[in-house]
A and B are shown apart, each in its own frame.
Chain A
Amino acid sequence: MMDLIIKNGRVIDPSNDRDEIADLYVVDARISAQPPAGECETIDARNLVVAPGLIDIHVHLREPGQSHKETFETGSQAAAAGGFSSIVCMPNTDPPADNPSTITWITDRARASASVNIFPSGAITKGLNGEEMAPIGSMVQAGIVAITDDGHCVQNHEVMRRAVEYARMFDLAVLDHCEDYNMVGHGVMHEGYWSTVLGLAGWPRTAEEIIVARNILLADLCETRIHCQHLSSGGSVRLLRDARARGIPVTGELSPHHIALTDEFLSSFDTNYKMNPPLRAPQDVVTLIEGVTDGTVTLLGSDHAPHAPFEKEVEFDRAPFGIAGLETELGLFLTILVHRTKAIDLNRLITLYTVNPATLLRLPKGTLGIGADADITIIDPDLEWTFRRDKSFSRSRNTPFDGWELKGRAVRTIVAGKTVWKT
């Protein structure tokens, strides 16, 4: 592998409070203070941003068992094209990643076929059934970086409390998909005006907020990090804001579709607008964005959830939840948060994608400090481009953003000094 000089870029490395025009050196796959001594590749980054490799902590890669939707190979290529050098894969596979053998299989398989770093998460409960604790410690030894029943939600508060308490022993964050099953029932979309009009069963905000509130109480009780995934409700932001002000170790995550779209889009009955939690009302979008601005929402994630066309192309209430998101998330967040609403600046956006996930999950990533792994994302924050799903690297095509005009994207993704993708 060749050493690198990345010249004249705007180096933004929030982990070192760095934001300056500078050259960045990569020697032996690590960030170096000194330029390479011998032969090297030079990358001109004039007018571009040079950032630590971005991290998406919420990705469904579908292996093992659902490789017709996605594989480590295709999913990691989509991640690279989206600007991500590290991703965390969710355990709701078939079989679920609820034991050390499956975790080892994932790690080995990812190493053999993936073009970016893949960090596995393990299930909280066996079979993701919310009843019996999974062998969390053994999975930690096998390499998990978090536990979550994502796609599912532990309903029994006692089971959740003990799992959270147990996770503390390993300094492990618990990631939670916040959904009260009884309140959601067969709900497939936000409960509100549009569910009333369309006659589709409602999934009320309260069903998310009630679990966010539960997680706040448990994080406080167990003094353990609980991370609330893909927030959809403005009420969840208000709960987290209050809890964080009191010093409780809870965090919240935002997925781009929850601010790019609202429930009105479902009037098309297009299943590419069906996700869990659902698209909500315009006032939720406003509060979610405020939450990013005021520091309540500190992580961003795609909830990349690929499904095959034949699975999505069915009656609305029978279609699976979820959309592909790795290749559009950075463009959407740059467009909406940085350019359109100016909710945050570019530096802050990079913090949310690097320092914050690395801190939450204790990953040795998200920094351009000397000696760090040379994971680098080069971003053109002003590049205007159009997303075409038929050009996607993902094995699936279930995205509502086909044809969207976006401003800003990654133009090169480097993992351990090697360019894994460039425009």
Chain B
Amino acid sequence: MAEPKPTKDLPQTPNWHRKDLLGIRELEIGEIEMILDTAAAFKTVGARDIKKVPALRGKTMVNFFAEPSTRTRTSFELAAFRLSADVVNISATTSSLQKGETLKDTALNLQALHADIIVLRHSSAGAPKFLADRLNSSIINAGDGAHEHPTQALLDVFTIREHLGKIEGLKVAIVGDILFSRVARSNIWALKKLGAKVTLVGPSTLVPRSFEEMGVTVARHIDDILESADVINLLRIQHERQRKEYFPNLNEYIRFFGLTKARGAKLKPSCLIMHPGPINRGVEIDSDIADGLQSVILAQVTNGLAVRMAVLYLCSTAARKVR
């Protein structure tokens, strides 16, 4: 098949060599910047009347979500559509994983069907690496256990850069359930690499001291960071059965860590309020603050599309080079 001809406004990326995006930890600073710059170029596509470029025409992307997701799955799907790829969605409940098929066998079958790109969401940390070690297809990590969620971190830093013009030197607080959060880990790597100062805030049971070895500061109380933060990234707080031993109840969580109206008033006017969603209004974030002027929560969603277009484009281009 003839190579799809890049339109003249498609970014040229001769220095991208990864067929897979498994995490932020292993990325060089230049690679992160290349994704962000590529995403900026793609963002203009979404604002056009005709929202499609032929970059991945003839490519097949499998959206393999072994764990529930709406926003990330839809975002990847739309990103692929805008790049003219063909998309198949597979979820845990509709796949043969339900019948006891192993991840390895499912993956080999997808490869046998000539899937060029597999976007994997999985509850087990390392599952995307497991596939990448075994398949020729491009593997994009859409969240693996508590390990990494690289495209989320990329869209977060993209959004910060878009609104504040830079990352370096910014004070970014990540608040909430850090221990079980892949979003937190990927954000820590991305922000640290780009020169931000990262502070983690949350109950000591959910922000163990071992995070300090990743080069971040751990604050005991949300009030300690309100006045100085340039960005506050609030994570969804869950209080399901398995979390019971980590903090007593949601009221007590809100008392110490919730971004209430009173706390919101202490923020710098320029401070961005971010959330990877889905938000719990009235828990980690006051409803009015979520909808307020400092909130960039919906901008994150929009930017997610551009970032995922960039990642799909770069990795599939590299896969072509590898083959």
Contacts and interface: CB of A to CB of B under 8 A. Distances in A.
User: Does B associate with A?
Assistant: yes
A192 B212 CA distance: 11
A269 interface: yes
A314 B66 CA distance: 14
A200 interface: yes
A269 B146 contact: no
B185 A310 contact: no
Q: How large is the interface on A (under 10, 10 to 19, 20 to 34, 35 or more residues)?
A: 10 to 19
B20 interface: no
B125 A316 contact: yes
Interface string B119-146: 0001011110110000000000000111
B210 A269 contact: no
Nearest to B186: A199
A315 B102 CA distance: 9
A37 interface: no
Contacts of B129: 268-269
A196 B211 contact: yes
Contact of B126 (A193, A195, A316): A316
A207 to B, nearest CB: 14
Contacts of A318: 124
Given A315-B124, A316-B124, A199 B213 contact: no
B24 to A, nearest CB: 11
A198 B211 contact: no
A317 to B, nearest CB: 5
Contacts of B211: 196
A141 B103 CA distance: 47
Contacts of A131: none
B210 A200 contact: no
A29 to B, nearest CB: 48
B68 interface: no
A204 to B, nearest CB: 10
Given A269-B130, A315-B130, A199 B185 contact: yes
A30 B211 CA distance: 60
Q: How large is the interface on B (under 10, 10 to 19, 20 to 34, 35 or more residues)?
A: 20 to 34
B292 interface: no
A28 interface: no
B145 A317 contact: yes
B25 A197 contact: yes
Nearest to B134: A313
A315 B146 CA distance: 14
Contacts of A268: 129
Given A200-B147, A314-B102, A193 B210 contact: yes
A201 B213 CA distance: 17
B208 interface: yes
B192 interface: no
B85 to A, nearest CB: 27
Nearest to B124: A315
Interface in B161-218: 182, 185, 208, 210-211, 213-214
Contacts of A195: 210
A200 B144 CA distance: 10
A307 to B, nearest CB: 14
- 6 nearest A-B residue pairs (beta carbon): A269-B126, A199-B146, A199-B147, A315-B124, A196-B210, A199-B125
Interface of B: 25, 102-104, 122, 124-127, 129-130, 144-148, 182, 185, 208, 210-211, 213-214
